[in-house]
Structure 1
Amino acid sequence: MPEGHSVHRITRQFAANFVGRAVSVSSPQGRFASDAALIDGQVMTDAHAVGKQMFLEFANGLWLRVHLGMYGAWDFAGDIRWDATLASANGRMGQTNQRGTVLPESTTPLDAPILDSAGENSLHSIGAPRRTRVRMAESEKAQSPSESWPPEPVGQVRARLLTDDVCADLRGPTACEVIDAARVAEVIDRLGPDPADGDTPDDEQRFVTTVRKKPTVIALLLMDQTVVSGIGNVYRAEMLYRARLNPHTPGRQLTEETARGLWRDWVHLLRLGIETGQMMTMDDLDAEAYRAAMANRADRHWVYKREGLPCRTCGTHIVLEELGGRKLYWCPRCQA
């Protein structure tokens, strides 16, 4: 499932390419046709994300709400304008540091952006992996001059947003609907705090207070979008490992320091994920290891999808179990 950093990256793409412009909205698949007609031809006025939810506002006061769910993704084509804050477009990369919550000003020197082999940091296709299509490199055009415009829809396109020169196709979302501002407020009010939507002392305190009063185990609380927004399976596993925290610890047993540490680590990792497009959670890598990690997810994580492999720290085999219907990865020694 696409996690919070991906949704914020998508939102920034819409802000850079669609906000302030009239947008043709259609549903090649047909399932979104009636809602599409409500905003077709309107000027997009805002692009906003909270956790895994994205909201696009139009001049007539209506909003497009999208939740990608397990299988959703946006594909962009055309004369795409890169958001300057997205690292895969401008070459800026950061290296994680568990001891700090701010990206260092001086990072590993790079001659050019390092692209993930699986397309995780692609700005042409953001969301769930696409097994039936080839993702293009960041340096390539999604639309060659010889092809017609707009491009033909590929697969089951739920919604297409189109300007004179940029196209965004949505496939496989859990939610795709047009709603009014009151409904947007209702949805957001049910969500937990999102550091990328405003990291304030009140947000941090809300997270800490909520977690420390719950008997639910912390591994489930981190995935509960009413507790904290944006964390999915990858970040959940990695954050718990980085904190050396047993995933079965009830929230109410966490010290205040531990709970605050989780929030601050999420602030840090989310910022890094938004800037690089990659869920990078390894610490203090040398230049060679850093480049490998940026290129391949297998070299980027402490425990996620490493079941049966030795822990990078202690050598104990990483455990895989099911918790709340999702896979949980952890080290039974480091996180005892």
Structure 2
Amino acid sequence: MPEGHTIHRLAQDYAEAFAGTEVRVTSPQGKFSDAADLLTGGRLTRTDAHGKHLFLGFGPAGHPTPAESIPARPAAPGRAAPGPATAPAPAAQDHDDPDHDDTAPSGWVHIHLGLFGKVAFGPVPAPPPADTVRLRLVNDTAHVDLRGPTTCALITAPEKRAVHDRLGPDPLREDADPGAAHRRISRSRTTVAALLMDQKVIAGVGNVYRAEVLFRHGIDPYRPGRDITPAEWDALWSDLVDLMREGVRANRIDTVRPEHTPEAMGRPPRVDDHGGEVYVYRRAHLPCLLCGTPVRTAGLAARNLFWCPTCQQR
């Protein structure tokens, strides 16, 4: 399942391709046809992401699109950003009330990719769509196809707010409250590894970031949440913010520090369909990059956990 950085990157990509333009909306598969008929000819006015949930805000044709609502892609190191900000998009829910904001979207498409959802962008003219495409957007310069999502639904602003309300803080959102996550963690006997994957506790962290951030801080994944100190939580949260922002920029997960890259260590680069350089994720039984101890794996809450028993003893 895509982790939160992928969803925030998609929010940026949708905005870059479609924000402020009139969009033709179709559902070749047919499951979204009624909503597509309501949206086609309108404008994409906002995009938003929270955890693993993507939101596309639509207004009628001619609907204004404020520049600050269009997220800018973070710049590569040493290069100027192409838009007004170098961080992921600001939280959009502060602007969702149509009674107080005449640029608020009139409806939102709520997307959750789940395990099998895929998004593919391309130029125009768009090729004939496959009959598995749930949602296609087309304007004068680009098209995008959505296949296989768990959720693809047209919702109202109050329904969108309800989704936000059931999710924990997202390290990529400006409105995130890391203290809210720690309050839940500090009251729980559940392992910190399981809590990091609980989207009600912290939104957007998946199996890769979970394994890697615990390794980077030397924390035993089986420690109860209530044993995580405020200082440890502050360090974990800050690291997640940095790692996930870099994930948005690079569109992949890299978690090794500069001194542990293949070039620095003289080792072969990682070969894995998930891409990116990592310490323990999917490296079961291979030697730890730091101490040489074989990386361990075990099932936890229906997911595979990876850790180094030597480096992670805190």
Coarse TM-score class (shorter-chain normalised): 0.7 to 0.9
Deviation by residue 1:218-250 (Cα, 9 ceiling, x = unmatched) = 111101111111101111110111111111111
TM-score, normalised with respect to structure 2: 0.79
Supply the distance in 2 between the matched residues of 1:287 and 1:194 (Cα, whole angstroms): 27
Deviation by residue 1:252-302 (Cα, 9 ceiling, x = unmatched) = 011111111111111110111011111000002478627975986676010
Provide the secondary structure at the position in 1 that maps to 2:258: coil
Q: Trace 1:65-76 onto structure 2 (pairs within 5 A).
A: 65-76=110-121
The residue type equivalent to 2:52 in the other structure is K
Q: Trace 1:8-19 onto structure 2 (pairs within 5 A).
A: 8-19=8-19
Supply the distance in 2 between the matched residues of 1:254 and 1:329 (Cα, whole angstroms): 19
Contact conserved, 1:65 with 1:178, CA < 8 A, in 2?
yes
TM-superposed CA distance for 1:182, in Å, is 0.6
Contact conserved, 1:238 with 1:302, CA < 8 A, in 2?
yes
1:320 matched to 2:297? The reply is: yes
TM-superposed CA distance for 1:196, in Å, is 1.7
1:242 matched to 2:216? The reply is: yes
Contact conserved, 2:186 with 2:228, CA < 8 A, in 1?
yes
Match of 2:201 in 1: 227
User: For residues 216 and 287 of structure 1, do their structure 2 counterparts lie closer, same or farther at Cα, with a shift above 3 Å needed?
Assistant: closer
Contact conserved, 2:252 with 2:276, CA < 8 A, in 1?
no
Supply the distance in 2 between the matched residues of 1:246 and 1:204 (Cα, whole angstroms): 21
Deviation by residue 1:165-210 (Cα, 9 ceiling, x = unmatched) = 210100111111000111000001111111221166xx12222222
Match of 2:3 in 1: 3
Supply the distance in 1 between the matched residues of 2:259 and 2:24 (Cα, whole angstroms): 46
Count residues with an aligned counterpart: 265
Match of 1:170 in 2: 146
The structure showing larger relative contact order (alpha-carbon pairs under 8 Å, at least 6 residues apart) is: 1
Provide the secondary structure at the position in 2 that maps to 1:196: coil
The residue type equivalent to 2:178 in the other structure is E
The residue type equivalent to 1:150 in the other structure is A
1:262 matched to 2:236? The reply is: yes
The residue type equivalent to 1:180 in the other structure is T
Q: CA RMSD in A?
A: 2.1
User: For residues 169 and 241 of structure 1, do their structure 2 counterparts lie closer, same or farther at Cα, with a shift above 3 Å needed?
Assistant: same
Deviation by residue 1:72-111 (Cα, 9 ceiling, x = unmatched) = 11100016xxxxxxxxxxxxxxxxxxxxxxxxxxxxxxxx
Provide the secondary structure at the position in 2 that maps to 1:265: helix
1:190 matched to 2:158? The reply is: no
Percentage identity across paired residues of the two chains: 41
Provide the secondary structure at the position in 2 that maps to 1:221: helix
1:252 matched to 2:214? The reply is: no
TM-superposed CA distance for 1:49, in Å, is 0.7
Deviates more, 1:150-159 or 1:307-316: 150-159
Match of 2:32 in 1: 32
Supply the distance in 1 between the matched residues of 2:276 and 2:147 (Cα, whole angstroms): 29
Supply the distance in 1 between the matched residues of 2:201 and 2:263 (Cα, whole angstroms): 34
Contact conserved, 1:38 with 1:178, CA < 8 A, in 2?
no
Supply the distance in 2 between the matched residues of 1:307 and 1:205 (Cα, whole angstroms): 33
Contact conserved, 2:28 with 2:130, CA < 8 A, in 1?
no
1:276 matched to 2:253? The reply is: no
Match of 2:95 in 1: none
Deviates more, 1:225-234 or 1:290-299: 290-299
The residue type equivalent to 1:281 in the other structure is T
Contact conserved, 2:215 with 2:308, CA < 8 A, in 1?
yes
Contiguous gaps of at least 5 residues in structure 1? 80-148
The residue type equivalent to 1:244 in the other structure is G
**Which structure 1 residue ranges, 4+ long, deviate > 3 Å from structure 2?**
285-288, 290-299
TM-score, normalised with respect to structure 1: 0.74
Supply the distance in 1 between the matched residues of 2:216 and 2:172 (Cα, whole angstroms): 20
Supply the distance in 2 between the matched residues of 1:228 and 1:53 (Cα, whole angstroms): 13
User: For residues 250 and 177 of structure 1, do their structure 2 counterparts lie closer, same or farther at Cα, with a shift above 3 Å needed?
Assistant: same
Contact conserved, 1:199 with 1:267, CA < 8 A, in 2?
no
Supply the distance in 2 between the matched residues of 1:312 and 1:4 (Cα, whole angstroms): 26
